[in-house]
């Protein structure tokens, strides 16, 4: 296993010189400077990440971390806990939202079982089970520090395995009933936010369930008193295997100079964990959508990122990443196939003057 802090220290910054070259090239295309907004920013960021003007994003994959969460014993979800097992199995059947959306966006999924209760007999599910679910955070820490480090390492392992298969862009997905509760707990600690301000209604919970969720997080934080300066300590005390695994995906992608996309709330909290471990990790991260989960805006503000899409989604599974995959594709295709001012036989100064 990697020493997580040592591994994270090896994350390098993007190539600023290449980014300036690509920006100069884009500014010479037949359009007002900066007029394609985010599309231009995406291409420049990709060039800096890959350290080349010859950007390649043909192979994309969403890593879906799956695990059960012991806090479900507190009645924090309307869904029974066995839904984690059933939905993960359904990923293998190709019938879920993420299956259809990755099919449309010409991307793949990589399913990892970090702690589902029960076994799934499918070659499509990579069994890296730490144990069958975390402990109930209201009674004891979710996991040991060793298990938290193991979960982060398993996220890194997934990324490095997929890089060896040629994947260039990573998305982050999850499946785990109760994980909006653990993510809200982690976010509250890392940002110092009041518990009620970060807790949403998850999978459509009723008011009484929402109240139990707030109570469970409050009691867990009071009981364990996690150290906000020590991300691994926070994850171990009130997090989840899926959340820690996704933190590892962000660190692994950044360490290997690969683009990585945030999906929704759980994914955003995992990204925040990674960036608190090593701030340079942010340079490799792309947002996707503004999840309707209450804590999403707080997580994105803490990251200093603005989601590209506001489409009212709150499913998880990595579904939002597919939107960003397609935005990356159209950005690269447009800006690398447009004509320059010289090719269009237009005086750049006169053209820009029209738009002042």
Whether residue 120 is predicted with pLDDT greater than 60 in this model: the reply is yes
CATH of the domain at 346: 1.10.1610.10
Q: Given the residues 147, 168, 293, 317, select the one marked as catalytic.
A: 317
- Residue 329, domain member (yes or no): no
Domain region containing 218: 60-324
pLDDT tens for each residue of 42-98? 999 999 999 999 999 999 999 999 999 999 999 999 899 999 999 999 999 999 999
Active site residue 317: yes
Q: How confident is the model at residue 200 (pLDDT cuts 50, 70, 90)?
A: confident
Contacts of residue 20, Cβ cutoff 8 Å, sequence gap at least 6: none
Give the Cα separation of 181 and 309 in Å (integer).
Answer: 24
Contact (CB, 8 A) for 166 and 188? no
Count of the separate structural domains present in the chain: 2
Give the Cα separation of 79 and 72 in Å (integer).
Answer: 9
Q: How confident is the model at residue 345 (pLDDT cuts 50, 70, 90)?
A: confident
**What is the pTM (predicted TM-score) of this model?**
0.96
Contact (CB, 8 A) for 331 and 169? no
| Confidence (pLDDT) at 354 | 41
Pairing of strands 125-127, 60-67: unpaired
Is 287 in the same domain as 243?
Answer: yes
Is 103 in the same domain as 206?
Answer: yes
CATH of the domain at 244: 3.40.50.10210
């Amino acid at each position: 296993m990697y020493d997580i802090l040592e591994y994270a220290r090896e994350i390098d910054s993007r190539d600023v010189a290449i980014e300036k070259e690509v920006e100069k090239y884009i500014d010479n295309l037949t359009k007002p400077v900066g007029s394609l907004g985010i599309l231009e920013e995406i291409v420049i960021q990709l060039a800096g990440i890959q350290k080349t003007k010859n950007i390649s994003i043909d192979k994309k994959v969403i890593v879906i971390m799956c695990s059960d969460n012991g806090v479900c014993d507190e009645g924090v979800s309307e869904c029974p806990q066995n839904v984690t097992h059933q939905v993960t199995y359904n990923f293998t059947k190709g019938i879920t939202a993420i299956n259809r959306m990755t099919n449309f966006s010409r991307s793949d999924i990589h399913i990892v079982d970090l702690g589902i209760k029960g076994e799934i007999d499918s070659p499509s599910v990579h069994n890296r089970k730490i144990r069958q679910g975390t402990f109930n955070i209201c009674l004891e820490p979710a996991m040991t520090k060793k298990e938290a480090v193991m979960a982060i390492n398993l996220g890194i392992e997934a990324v490095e395995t997929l890089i060896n298969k040629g994947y260039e862009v990573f998305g982050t997905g999850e499946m785990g009933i109760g994980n909006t509760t653990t993510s809200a707990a982690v976010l509250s600690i890392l940002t110092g936010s009041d518990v009620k301000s970060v807790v949403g209604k998850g999978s459509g919970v009723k008011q009484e369930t929402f109240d139990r969720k707030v109570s469970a997080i409050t009691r867990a934080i009071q009981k364990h008193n996690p150290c906000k300066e020590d991300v691994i300590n926070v994850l171990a005390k009130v997090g989840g295997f899926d959340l820690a695994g996704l933190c590892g995906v962000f660190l692994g992608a950044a360490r290997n100079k690969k683009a990585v996309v945030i999906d929704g709330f759980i994914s955003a909290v995992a990204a925040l964990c990674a960036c608190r471990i090593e701030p340079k990790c942010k340079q490799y991260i792309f947002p996707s959508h503004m999840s309707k989960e209450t804590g999403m805006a707080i997580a994105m503000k803490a990251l200093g990122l603005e989601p590209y899409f506001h489409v009212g989604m709150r499913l998880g599974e990595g579904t939002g990443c597919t939107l960003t995959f397609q935005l990356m594709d159209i950005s690269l295709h447009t800006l690398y196939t447009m004509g320059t001012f010289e090719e269009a036989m237009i005086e750049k100064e006169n053209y820009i003057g029209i738009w002042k």
